Amino acid sequence: MGGSKICRSDLQPASAPSITTSTSLTHTVNGSHEFKITGYSLSKGLGIGKYIASETFEVGAYQWAIYFYPDGKSIEDNAAYVSLFIALASEGTDVRALFELKLLDQSGKERHKVHSHFGRMLESGPYTLKYRGSMWGYKRFFKRTSLETSDYLKDDCLSIHCIVGVVQSRTEGPQTYSIAVPPSNMGEQFGRLLESGKGTDVSFEVDGEIFAAHKLVLAARSPVFRAQLFGPMKDRHSECIKIEDMEAPVFKALLYFIYWDVLPDMQELTGLNSKWALTLMAQHLLAAADRYGLDRLRLLCEVQLCEEIAINTVATTLALAEQHHCLQLKAVCLKFIALPENLRAVMQTDGFEYLNVSCPSVLTELLEHVAKVGEHSLSVTRYPNEVLDGSDVNGRRVMQRIQI
């Protein structure tokens, strides 16, 4: 019998095995919050183990809060120390994080009292919070007698700065390409189309001014324009439509958003620079956005008005929020008015008189907020006189005309 010869090369793999790689990346998602405590001396005697809490704030998809114990957290310390903690305020299990608690020196010497995980090697790694309510901090953060004679306390006020760094990990595989994708500029392209005036097929008369636009663009962006221009009840005179109960600058801003998909620069658009006038413009634009079914624009105006709350405009803004179902704006207004230092001044404005007539049911809700503030308030301070520039403490009536 003849044997077959096996070549050595037959035992070798056809090719070398492929090698793949992956990388685990661990980093922190950081966020900060500043917590001011006014009326510190009035908080003393609150009781051992009882705290004053900051508003919750979000870092790394979790909610957090700062807890300050004016009489300390532990009975054994007999109120000799103040305690300071950062707490997990939302649901979470084994949340790993780094923290920094800083009591700010208010003398300007930058001699802050700092306890920090950041910028140093940690023997046991980041701190782990097991569940909602878990805390990190110090029972003996500062001796009370020393604190009260220090530069950290000024005008009976303390200022605390907190940083949270939530630890997150992810694994990445090999990237075999690098393609730079520019951001979308569709809004800019449509905006340039409006500016050029090319291809316009509909015009609007608003308060004596004429605005040209494109039916298809308006219909694509607004269900109201869609019905008006292409629906079964479309306007027979759709080549030039007269808009009632709206001012020209407001309609101009509305068109700008429809094409650009961003808010215009109100100061540039109107030529006005007073905060009162810009707030009034945002109020008008919110009403216009609701009228034409532009939900995103309505929310953007709601955000802007939340940021511009002031004594002489808050009542008119609250009426607007009630009429257009802006729940978060309504809540911010109620909370602002209910503060003891604001309530009396707001009640003296013409806007409050309008609120009383147009939305009487809101006053019941306001009374509930005032009662809650009264239950938890440590003191009632004198209300401020400052109002938006260009106006006196009597404010303005709701939806006043914009003078340009």
Give the mean pLDDT of 264-269.
85
pLDDT of residue 395: 39
Structure tokens at 121: 């090697």
pLDDT digits (tens, 9 = 90+) for 242-253: 999 999 999 999
Q: How confident is the model at residue 266 (pLDDT cuts 50, 70, 90)?
A: confident
Tell me which residue of 288, 381, 366 sits closest to 331, measured CA to CA. 366
Between the ranges 25-29, 65-69, 107-111, where is the mean pLDDT highest?
A: 65-69
Give the mean pLDDT of 364-370.
86
Continuous H helices in 21-152: 40-43, 144-147
Dihedrals phi, psi of 342, to nearest 5 degrees = -110, -30
Give the mean pLDDT of 168-193.
87
pLDDT of residue 243: 93
Q: How confident is the model at residue 388 (pLDDT cuts 50, 70, 90)?
A: very low
- Give the whole-angstrom CA distance, residue 147 versus residue 139: 14
pLDDT digits (tens, 9 = 90+) for 291-346: 999 999 999 999 999 998 999 899 999 999 999 999 999 999 999 999 988 999 99
Out of 26-35, 46-55, 69-78, 168-177, pick the least confident.
Answer: 168-177
SS3 237: coil
* Confidence check: pLDDT of 76 > 80: yes
pLDDT of residue 381: 38
State percent of the chain over pLDDT 90. 63
Continuous H helices in 83-200: 144-147, 186-196
pLDDT of residue 369: 82
* Confidence check: pLDDT of 124 > 50: yes
* Confidence check: pLDDT of 379 > 70: no
- For the entire predicted model, the pTM comes to 0.55
pLDDT of residue 119: 81
* Confidence check: pLDDT of 279 > 60: yes
pLDDT digits (tens, 9 = 90+) for 143-155: 999 999 999 999 9
CB-facing half-sphere around the CA of 274: CA atoms within 13 A: 14
- Give the whole-angstrom CA distance, residue 193 versus residue 256: 11
pLDDT digits (tens, 9 = 90+) for 353-364: 889 888 888 888
State percent of the chain over pLDDT 70. 87
Q: How confident is the model at residue 216 (pLDDT cuts 50, 70, 90)?
A: very high
Q: How confident is the model at residue 48 (pLDDT cuts 50, 70, 90)?
A: very high
- Give the whole-angstrom CA distance, residue 111 versus residue 149: 15
